[in-house]
Amino acid sequence: MSSGLTMNGCLGRDLTLELVRVTEAAALAAGRWMGRGQKDAGDEAAVHAMRAMLRTVDINGVVVIGEGEKDEAPMLFNGEAVGTGQGPAVDIAVDPVEGTSLLAHGRPDSIAVIGVAPRGTMWSPGPGFYMNKLVVGREAREAISPLSLTAPVADTLAAIAAAKHKAVTDLTVFVLDKPRHAELISALRTAGARVLTRTDGDVAGALMAATPGSGVDVLMGIGGTPEGVIAACAVRALGGAMLGQLAPQKPGEREALLAAGLDLDRVLTERDLVCSDDVLFAATGITDGLLMQGVRYADSGSTTHSIVMRGKSRTRRVIQAEHGPNELKTVRLCHQI
């Protein structure tokens, strides 16, 4: 039985492939609900499939970022123990369907994601649901600082463009299409940047911004705090940079954060959100997107496209997997467990 660790105590390469199997299972289960307008059903199918597959992985895992209170989920909740109990002690961050509305309406970039890091290294957002974020790739990591979150948008874009040896007019910025971002989107366009919007799914947006050659240069705006921790796993593995600051949006959220002793003025980096470079990240496309194709189904089986990363080696692998009909049957049964 593999320990999931290398000889020097790092999370091993074999574990990355196990994590891909976890996100593949979630994507295969969720993809059946693409375009059916039932986001809760798609999410439920993915949760059951991901949880069932996690049971087979040799880790002593605790869910730090899960479906949790925000989604009122009965499983993969914050604090749940996952894995066989054998192998390395790790923190787990999961989102079985990142972009449930995207899935329900058949829109691009719904994905299944998981991040893993040594026990005690993932930041817990507590009662924080929302965070203002800025994500860039490796080329532009030195172009941003904590002041970038409050600086004029045009100044931040100019610094990023200079670092990437581009004109601002050649930058593409990912922003969630929410009413709260109307002024941000207007400022981005006034500065000359192109704007890519999605109704949800800012883990995918952060992944695009941190991945060289994706066509997206920056992520900006307020998104989920749990999603910020998941995204930080990918950003660390890719060598990019991320800034995040709690930005309460829900009634009572600000008061709950202050009562929990959290500093609303603090600007967190990817190293604060995940304080280890011994991080693993996997994602599988559910619907077609910029980085991954969605699930393809046929009588003979199915095809999935995934990305898996290991922070220690800065390795990024793109995996296309062909699943036989027996594996599809197994995934269909997962939601009954």
Angstrom CA distances, 254 to 127, 151, 213, stand at: 9, 23, 38
Enumerate residues 6+ apart whose C-beta is below 8 A from 269.
241, 242, 243, 244
Is 224 annotated as a binding-site member?
Answer: yes
Rounded distance between C-alpha atoms, residue 109 and residue 67, angstroms? 19
Is 322 annotated as a binding-site member?
Answer: no
Is 201 annotated as a binding-site member?
Answer: yes
Is 227 annotated as a binding-site member?
Answer: yes
Is 72 annotated as a binding-site member?
Answer: no
Is 80 annotated as a binding-site member?
Answer: no
Tell me which long-range contacts 297-300 makes (C-beta under 8 A, separation of at least 24): 297/31, 297/32, 297/328, 299/325, 300/324, 300/325
Is 39 annotated as a binding-site member?
Answer: no
Is 150 annotated as a binding-site member?
Answer: no
Is 14 annotated as a binding-site member?
Answer: no
Is 71 annotated as a binding-site member?
Answer: no
Angstrom CA distances, 336 to 21, 48, 75, 333, stand at: 19, 8, 13, 6
Nearest to 281 by CA among 203, 171, 212, 199: 203
Is 202 annotated as a binding-site member?
Answer: yes
List the binding residues for substrate.
98-100, 130, 178-180, 200-202, 224
List the binding residues.
43, 67, 95, 98-100, 130, 178-180, 200-202, 224, 227
List the binding residues for Mn(2+).
43, 67, 95, 98, 227
